[in-house]
Structure formats: C-alpha cells, structure tokens
Amino acid sequence: MPQDCIFCKIVAGDIKATKLYQDESVTVFKDINPQAPTHILVIPNQHIEAISEASPEDQVILGKLMLTAAHIAREESVADNGYRLVVNNGRDGGQTVFHLHVHLLAGRPMRWPPG
Ligand code: 5GP
Ligand code: ZN
C-alpha cells in the first residue's frame, strides 16, 4: 500500500474512522466532513488511485462498490427517500483523495446540476 494514502491507513486501522462495514474487499466509513446528513464513503481495500486508473481486472470490485453502497443505503434507512452516489475523478472532478471511493449522500434533496 502507498505509505501516504489516508484511505489505505483507514482500511488497515492505522487511522481512526467510524466504520460501518468491512469485509475482505471493501470498507465503508463516515466522511469526516459531511456534505449531507448522511455522507458515507465506500472504498476498495486494495489501492486503486481513481476510476480512470481502474482496469478490466477491477470489474468485480467496481461492481461490489456499487452494490455495497446500495446495501448500506438500505441499512441506513435512506433508500426509500433516495440518495446520490458520486465518484469524483481527477482535478476538475474535484477528487482530493487519490484512493478510489464512492460517496453515498442522502438525508436532503440533492441539487442538479451539481456544483
Ligand atoms: P473526494 O474529494 O476525493 O471525492 O473526497 C474525499 C473525501 O474524503 C472528502 O469528502 C473528505 O471529507 C473525506 N476525507 C478526507 N480525509 C478523511 C479522513 O481522514 N477520514 C474520513 N473519514 N474522511 C476523510
Ligand atoms: Zn490507498
């Protein structure tokens, strides 16, 4: 794992986070700076820098991230009202942490177009 990756350290338990779920391939935790009443991050345990860096071998883990996000949304009781899944990529996409993550945002109406 890259030495300086915050999210790899959260996966390993070296940095504290409010973890909601973890298994052999994914980790789910609360965002430290929530942008909605529910703001949860779903990440692969393996370090993938960004969706633009994912390869065909990552197909299974990419599917798992989406299915896990939907599962967590049900568990957190936000599925009925609706929610938004976001993957920021690169500079103009607003990505600030270069370990792939899916944002699960819910608990308020989301605007469109996004900022
Ligand atoms: P990005 O801007 O890369 O799409 O999203 C990165 C997200 O990670 C941001 O929403 C930010 O608040 C969150 N974040 C950054 N550092 C930490 C941390 O140390 N712990 C947690 N729980 N979230 C973090
Ligand atoms: Zn990482």
Mean pLDDT of the chain: 97
Q: Whose C-alpha lies nearest to ligand 1, atom 24?
A: 32
Q: Is ligand 1 within 6 A of the CB of residue 83?
A: no
Average pLDDT over residues 39-61: 98
CATH number of the structural domain 6-106: 3.30.428.10
Q: What is the pTM of this model?
A: 0.98
Report the chain's terminal Cα–Cα distance, integer Å.
32
Per-residue pLDDT, 2: 80
Distance CA 51, CA 100 (A): 6
The residues spanned by each domain of the chain are: 6-106
Per-residue pLDDT, 87: 98
* Ligand 1 center–CA 57 separation, angstroms: 26
From the CA of 88, give the closest atom in ligand 1.
Answer: 4
Per-residue pLDDT, 88: 98
Catalytic residues: 101
Average pLDDT over residues 52-78: 98
